[in-house]
Chains A and B, each alone.
Chain A
Amino acid sequence: MKKLKTTTKIDFATYAGVTLAFLLVYALQQGGSLTNAMKSWLVPICSFIVMAVSLNLVVGISGELSLGHAGFMSVGAFSGIVTAMSLTNAIPSGPVRLLLAILVGAVFAAVTGVIVGVPVLRLRGDYLAIVTLAFGQIIKDLINCLIVGYDSHGLHIIFNLDGLRSVSDLHMEETGVAIIKGAQGAVGVPKLSSFFAGYLLVMVALVIVLNLVRSRTGRAIMAIRDNRIAAESVGINVTKYRLIAFVTSAALAGAAGALFGLNYGGLLSSRFDFNTSILVLVYVVLGGLGNIWGSVIAATVLYILPEALRGFQDYRMLLYAVVLILVMLATNNEQLKALLGRLIPKRKGAKSNG
Chain B
Amino acid sequence: MAEKRVFEKGKMVPVPSQAIIPERDSDKSPILECSHLGIDFGGLRAVDDFNLTLGRTEIAGLIGPNGAGKTTVFNLLTKVYQPTRGTILLDGYDTAGKTPAQINRMGIARTFQNIRLFSALSVEDNVKIGLHNQEPYSMFTGILRLPKYWRQEKAAHERAMELLSIFDMQDLAAHEAGSLPYGAQRRLEIVRALATNPSLLLLDEPAAGMNPSETAELMENIVKIRDTFQIAVMLIEHDMNLVMGICEGICVLNFGQVIAKGTAEEIQSNPTVIEAYLGKKK
Q: Which of B22-30, B133-141, B248-256 contacts A (4 or more CB under 8 A)?
A: B133-141
- Cβ of A217 within 8 Å of any chain B Cβ, yes or no, is yes
- Cβ of B143 within 8 Å of any chain A Cβ, yes or no, is yes
Q: Is the Cβ of A216 less than 8 Å from the Cβ of B143?
A: no
In the complex, which residue of chain B has the Cβ closest to the Cβ of A218?
A: B142
How far apart are the CA atoms of A220 and B142 in the complex, in Å? 12
- Cβ of B87 within 8 Å of any chain A Cβ, yes or no, is no
Q: Is the Cβ of B175 less than 8 Å from the Cβ of A237?
A: no
How far apart are the CA atoms of A226 and B126 in the complex, in Å? 11
Q: Which of A207-215, A261-269, A299-307 contacts B (4 or more CB under 8 A)?
A: A207-215
Residue-wise, chain A 132-175 has the 8 Å CB interface mask toward B (1 for contact) of 00000000000000000000000000000000000000000000
For B99, give its contact among A230, A232, A354 (CB under 8 Å).
A232
Q: Which of A1-9, A65-73, A331-339 contacts B (4 or more CB under 8 A)?
A: A1-9
Q: What is the minimal beta-carbon distance from A90 to any residue of chain B, in angstroms?
A: 29
Q: Is the Cβ of A212 less than 8 Å from the Cβ of B139?
A: yes
How many B residues, CB 8 Å from partner? 48
- Cβ of A233 within 8 Å of any chain B Cβ, yes or no, is yes
For B142, give its contact among A212, A233, A353 (CB under 8 Å).
A212
Residue-wise, chain B 150-181 has the 8 Å CB interface mask toward A (1 for contact) of 00110010000000000000001011100111
Q: What is the minimal beta-carbon distance from A204 to any residue of chain B, in angstroms?
A: 10
- Cβ of A203 within 8 Å of any chain B Cβ, yes or no, is no
Q: What is the minimal beta-carbon distance from B158 to any residue of chain A, in angstroms?
A: 15
Instruction: Label chain A's interface by main secondary structure.
Output: helix
Known: A229-B80, A230-B118, A235-B105. A244 touches B129 (CB 8 A): no
Known: A3-B176, A227-B118. A235 touches B139 (CB 8 A): no
Q: Is the Cβ of A1 less than 8 Å from the Cβ of B175?
A: yes
Query: Chain A residues with Cβ under 8 A from B149's Cβ?
Result: 215
Q: What is the minimal beta-carbon distance from A213 to any residue of chain B, in angstroms?
A: 9
In the complex, which residue of chain B has the Cβ closest to the Cβ of A229?
A: B116
- Cβ of B90 within 8 Å of any chain A Cβ, yes or no, is no
Q: What is the minimal beta-carbon distance from B250 to any residue of chain A, in angstroms?
A: 24
Query: Chain A residues with Cβ under 8 A from B181's Cβ?
Result: 1
Interface positions, chain B 240-254, Cβ under 8 Å from A, are: none
Q: Is the Cβ of B116 less than 8 Å from the Cβ of A4?
A: no
Q: Is the Cβ of B116 less than 8 Å from the Cβ of A1?
A: no
Query: Chain B residues with Cβ under 8 A from A4's Cβ?
Result: 122, 174-176
For B143, give its contact among A208, A232, A236 (CB under 8 Å).
A208
Query: Chain A residues with Cβ under 8 A from B174's Cβ?
Result: 3-4, 6
Q: Is the Cβ of A234 less than 8 Å from the Cβ of B125?
A: no
How far apart are the CA atoms of A222 and B99 in the complex, in Å? 20
For B125, give its contact among A212, A219, A238 (CB under 8 Å).
A219
- Cβ of B84 within 8 Å of any chain A Cβ, yes or no, is no
Of B105, B110, B129, B172, most buried by chain A (CB within 10 Å of CB) is: B129
Residue-wise, chain A 225-253 has the 8 Å CB interface mask toward B (1 for contact) of 01101111111111000001000000000
In the complex, which residue of chain A has the Cβ closest to the Cβ of B130?
A: A234
Interface positions, chain B 94-121, Cβ under 8 Å from A, are: 99-102, 104-105, 109-110, 112, 116-121
Query: Chain A residues with Cβ under 8 A from B104's Cβ?
Result: 232-235
- Cβ of A223 within 8 Å of any chain B Cβ, yes or no, is yes
Query: Chain B residues with Cβ under 8 A from A1's Cβ?
Result: 172, 175-176, 179-181
Q: Is the Cβ of A233 less than 8 Å from the Cβ of B100?
A: yes
Known: A233-B110, A236-B132. 16 other contacts (CB 8 A): A2-B179, A3-B175, A3-B176, A211-B143, A212-B139, A219-B128, A220-B129, A226-B118, A233-B100, A233-B112, A234-B104, A234-B192, A235-B102, A235-B105, A235-B133, A354-B179
What are 8 residue pairs bridging A and B, where the CB atoms are less than 8 Å apart in the complex? Answer: A1-B181, A211-B145, A216-B152, A222-B125, A227-B117, A230-B118, A234-B104, A234-B109
Which B residues have a C-beta under 8 Å from some C-beta of A?
Answer: 78, 80, 99-102, 104-105, 109-110, 112, 116-122, 125, 128-130, 132-133, 135-137, 139, 141-145, 149, 152-153, 156, 172, 174-176, 179-181, 192-193, 195-196
Which A residues have a C-beta under 8 Å from some C-beta of B?
Answer: 1-4, 6, 207-208, 211-212, 214-220, 222-223, 226-227, 229-238, 244, 353-354
